[in-house]
Chains A and B, each alone.
Chain A
Amino acid sequence: MSAANMSHSGSLSDAHAHDEHDHHDLPWIRKYVFSEDHKYIAKQYLVSGIVWAIIGGLLSVLFRLQLGFPDADLTWLKPLLGEWIQNGKLDPEFYLALVTMHGTIMVFFVLTAGLSGTFSNFLIPLQIGARDMASGFLNMISYWLFFLSSSIMMISLFIKTGPASGGWVIYPPLSALPQAVNGSGLGMTLWLVAMVFFIASTLLGGLNYVTTIINLRTKGMTFTRLPLTIWAFFITAILGLLSFPVLFSAALLLVFDRSFGTSFFLSEIYIGGEALHNEGGSPILFQHLFWFLGHPEVYIVLLPALGVTSEIVATNSRKPIFGYKAMIFSLVAIGFLSFIVWAHHMFVTGMNPFLGSIFMFLTLIIAVPSAVKAFNYIATLWRGNIIFTPAMLFSIGLVSFFISGGLTGIVLGNSAADIQLHDTYFVVAHFHIVMGSASFFGMLAGVYHWFPKMFGRMMDERLGYVHFWLTFIGVYVIFFPMHYMGIAGFPRRYYSWTGFDAFNSFTDLNELISIAAIMTFVAQFIFIFNFFYSMFKGRVSTLNPWKSNTLEWTTPLNPEHGNWPGAIPTVYRWPYDYSKPGAPDDFIPQTVPFSATPESNFPHEKDEH
């Protein structure tokens, strides 16, 4: 085994020498556009994710204006929105398009591509000790398919009939019939085409992540010495590989129904004054297929954030992560369970009630590994020596959201309680906190933490602090009151509630939420300024600014393609030897052999030969 590893890393360092040679000969287009360097691809994903996050956030501000200030005159937005503003009001169909695109953009383009794409690409080779991904070429294709997908989705925002507007879950028949809503015309076609490219991109990325983690670990980097970030990316990639193809099949069948007259999801429909020929299809079948991806997707966006947090919390508490193995088991358990809970989104669709009870049971099991994770984070903080970098603040914020939003999931997972809460603002509050905000905080924490490795410079801490507190408080002010509205029965995706006596209240609360949303959105520009400013003018970083144990901090300040100028370092220990009793420093990097630290070794710890 170790001989095989030796020859393995030997051949890699040969390849690297070759790379070094190539590197200077690369034309700029291969270096800065069609790059195969995982670090550069990660930055491409990150910047694309930031651009999409601004657009997705802006869309939410637009519909929050409608919800918070239903009587306001929005004529001033006419230069931006044109015909979507009628008589100073947002068009109700455009409102639906806004919520649909906000969801699509945030879930897929920001929290899947922007989060997983950035950090899986950036950290996998650096933290396992590899020169690059298993296939740099496929990795490059993966980004550019994502770019193509983004471009198509972006175009759909500007067409006359508007983008897709049937909700991000695109349930047919609404999404299948242009007669039902304008957005189901060309807008929906573009949505489906964009998603096909997006799925292809995700699959290529995922294949690369899994292959790289299994095959390209450096000598000594066993699975039980992998940082939890890598474990999280590994599980995430497997989830994506297994679930995205199902979305692809759902999308494909929907394309058939829309364009070729098939009846997979359509049956007995009378619309626009005519009875359609479709009979025998099932709209519920689509929901099963969609949520078979849709639920794992929740964990596809959340697990990388949890992985990033594990790393940051341990580093900045100067303590080993509590229960490393339990953290891995819970990741695997959550990943496995995420495939068998999808129908809890469908308790009141007319699905067989017995199936509902099974899915309630399976859903509530997920609470157990999730609770273990939350407790382990808290236990890691206990008796630490905590340094509040902005990354650490965002990680603690993430844990808070993970708990708050996860808890409300327990009510929603209970089918009898879900009857009243389904499709109300309670659900909106739940998933925006646990999936949206928690993952978003994971992404921000990751950027603050690995910025020095990405750009060789530090971000400004004080701006980071201000950014954190404004965003953290903002998120709670936005989403916490939504629970109240949900308990009062307010349905989702309503353009206005004033038509109902039952929902004609909480106008102050809606106003407050909208103001908080706008302020939180504006606060993100502090980050954007900090990000771009620090990229060029930030303080030059030291090699290991956070005194971290993982391998990426053993590379040069601005690593070239190939990551390590000499041989790839060998790994001797797990990544969490922080504050080990007897050790002079409060951290021992993974590259330090046990023979060099006799003063802090436990009896069972000695180098393998």
Chain B
Amino acid sequence: MTSVIIIVAVVLILSILYLIFRIGVLSNVLNSRYQKTVGVGNTVNSFLFIAVFVLGILAFYLSFESARDKFLPEAASAHGVRTDLLFWVIMAVLTLAFLVTNALLYFFPYMYRFKEGNKAYFYPDNHTVERIWTIIPAIIMAGFVVYGYKEWHEITSPAPADAEVIEIMGKQFAWQVRYPGADGKLGKYHYRKIDAVNEFGIDFNDTASYDDFIPMELHLPKGKNVHLHIRSRDVIHSVFLPHFRVKMDAVPGMPTKFWFTPTISTAEMKVITNNPDFTYELACTEVCGRGHYAMRFLVVVDEPADYEKWKASQQTWASLNAAYVATKAPKALKDKYLKDFLPSSDSAAVAVPDTLKPAVVSMHADH
């Protein structure tokens, strides 16, 4: 019943609007205003350009001021500070161009609005002027290219040999990270070795795999170079660390890399932002399906000493999942690396003991 009333009301309102419009048209016809090509509307529109420009610039200024504290949150990486500067330098030039061209674009319609008896100035071209406004943008662009290239070249240069290697893997819909452990080498992987337990598809024929660990947070050392090895196991994701100005796609079948230097620890950032609950975050920026908006992963930047302490406190994934690994590992490696973690060397090779399962489940719990 209510919907019928709403429909009737809408129809009535629309018919009233139509009648008003029709009466307006007819009265204009009677006043013979209707035949004129250029009426009062012309002047009104030319004034509106000025009004919209002035109010628009005011709105631009006020909204910019109110939003600016959220712009480019404090850069927490060495290259981030430089790309922020690049961004603001370019934006300053562009804002100037925006204001000048738009001012002309809005003032000319007002200044040169139709006036009876006026004649426009026949001015088909002027090669000097055209050359000037071709060359000036070209020079500015050349400057941007050189400046941008310098930064880009440095950011994408090969990672320093001493960088901390950390692997990030995207999947629907969570991130997982793997550290190389004491040997500093990530164990090999293959996508066919992935299963419900071994989410990374770690290859336990590789001795480097046994000391790798898979924590629940991404820890980064302050002031040291970090080299991210990025991959995906299903669709394309994209690693986005907003505070570190890091973004790189995670592509299945094509590992990608990004290296950078965190410069502000989480504790320091809590002071800077005046927010005791501050945490760094990792987000996904390539649409990957239903849970795209929820691929959040916590990031912590430690002082170098704390970072080493944290690393030392992590248990290797192989030790936490010894029974599972034992089913995959060749005998020699099993004896070498897993002896201490298996109840007895022959019984565990058959099945995963129930006691280990909760730990395994929590490892790949989706967020």
Contact = CB atoms under 8 A, between A and B. Distances in A.
Nearest to A414: B148
A393 B101 CA distance: 17
A270 B248 contact: no
B90 A372 contact: no
Given A324-B125, A385-B120, A378 B41 contact: no
B130 A173 contact: no
Given A489-B73, A499-B293, A350 B129 contact: no
Contact of B145 (A360, A393, A492): A360
Contacts of A173: 234-236, 252
Interface string B87-104: 100110010011001101
Interface string A399-426: 1100110011011001111011111100
A356 interface: yes
A350 B248 contact: yes
B1 interface: no
Contacts of A181: 289-290
B161 to A, nearest CB: 19
A598 B97 CA distance: 43
B109 to A, nearest CB: 6
B283 A92 contact: no
B283 A404 contact: no
A601 interface: no
A353 interface: yes
A414 B288 CA distance: 26
B45 A500 contact: no
Contact of A420 (B56, B98, B113, B247): B247
Interface in A268-287: 268-271, 273, 275, 279-284
B37 interface: yes
Interface string B41-61: 110111011001000100010
Contact of A494 (B101, B290, B292): B292
Contacts of B134: 368, 371-372
A368 B144 CA distance: 13
Interface stretch (A16-24, A227-235, A290-298, A579-587): A579-587
A424 B285 contact: yes
Contact of A367 (B84, B137, B234, B283): B137
Contact of B109 (A174, A381, A505): A381
Contacts of B104: 378, 381-382
Interface string A573-606: 0001011110000100000000000000000000
B207 interface: no
Given A267-B253, A273-B196, A465-B45, A500 B292 contact: no
A435 to B, nearest CB: 18
B72 interface: yes
Contact of A407 (B63, B94, B235): B94
Nearest to B71: A487
B191 A417 contact: no
Contacts of B86: 414, 416-417
A307 interface: no
A534 B304 CA distance: 74
Interface residues of A, number: 122
A579 B119 contact: yes
Give the interface residue-count category, chain B: 35 or more
Nearest to A578: B120
B121 A357 contact: no
Contacts of A364: 141, 144-145
B5 interface: no
A499 B294 contact: yes
B245 interface: yes
Interface string B316-341: 00000000000000000000000000
A473 interface: yes
A388 B113 contact: yes
A484 B145 contact: no
A270 B252 CA distance: 9
A353 B149 CA distance: 10
Given A273-B196, A414-B144, A422-B247, A283 B236 contact: yes
A484 B70 contact: yes
Contact of A368 (B114, B138, B242): B138
A266 B251 CA distance: 10
A400 B238 CA distance: 34
Contact of B287 (A167, A371, A461, A576): A167
A100 to B, nearest CB: 9
B234 A271 contact: yes
Nearest to A320: B124
Interface string B119-139: 111111110011001100110
Contacts of B285: 422-424, 491-492
Interface string A449-488: 0000000000011110100010011001000110010011
19 contacts: A266-B252, A281-B253, A282-B253, A283-B252, A348-B247, A375-B130, A379-B123, A382-B108, A400-B102, A460-B25, A476-B56, A481-B63, A487-B71, A492-B285, A493-B293, A494-B292, A501-B278, A509-B67, A545-B37
Interface of A: 92-93, 96, 166-167, 171, 173-174, 177, 180-181, 266-271, 273, 275, 279-284, 317-326, 348-350, 353, 356-357, 360-361, 364-365, 367-368, 371-372, 374-379, 381-388, 393, 396, 399-400, 403-404, 407-408, 410-411, 414-417, 419-424, 460-463, 465, 469, 472-473, 476, 480-481, 484, 487-489, 491-497, 499-503, 505-506, 509, 539, 545, 547, 576, 578-581, 586
Given A495-B293, A547-B37, 16 more contacts: A96-B287, A171-B236, A171-B287, A282-B254, A283-B236, A319-B121, A322-B125, A348-B248, A356-B156, A368-B137, A378-B104, A383-B121, A410-B141, A481-B63, A481-B67, A501-B281
